[in-house]
Amino acid sequence: MKSFQDGLLTPDEERKLLALGSWHDALDDRALRMNCPDAYHDELLRQADEMDRLKIVTWQEWRDLRVEADRAYLRAVAGDDFTLQARVERPAR
């Protein structure tokens, strides 16, 4: 991470990188996704909207984040995590 300390990123780029990192952390929150898909989806949308409000992302990036949040929500309510968990616990013979 030394390259980040050398000032290779502008403050705006660093802010965007941190915000997108936080959004992706929320996207990867399997526990919330499995236990409360609605809250999981709301958090992803909230973070995307906040990045848009603060002008951290472009309109197209904001739209892409919301589309990805919707897709993740649909996978969550379809039970993809539970299906994956069952396959891991019960490997094919």
Domain positions in the chain are: 10-89
Distance CA 29, CA 24 (A): 9
- Are 41 and 73 contacting, i.e. CB atoms less than 8 angstroms apart? yes
Report the pLDDT value the prediction gives residue 91, as an integer from 0 to 100: 60
Report the pLDDT value the prediction gives residue 87, as an integer from 0 to 100: 57
For residue 83, how many C-alpha atoms fall within 13 Å in the half-sphere facing its CB? 6
Tens-digit pLDDT profile for residues 29-88: 999 999 999 999 999 999 999 999 999 999 999 999 999 999 999 999 999 888 766 555
Report the pLDDT value the prediction gives residue 90, as an integer from 0 to 100: 62
Claim: this prediction has a pTM higher than 0.85: no
* SS3 category, 79: coil
- Are 60 and 12 contacting, i.e. CB atoms less than 8 angstroms apart? no
Length of the chain measured in residues: 93
pLDDT, average across residues 5-32? 94
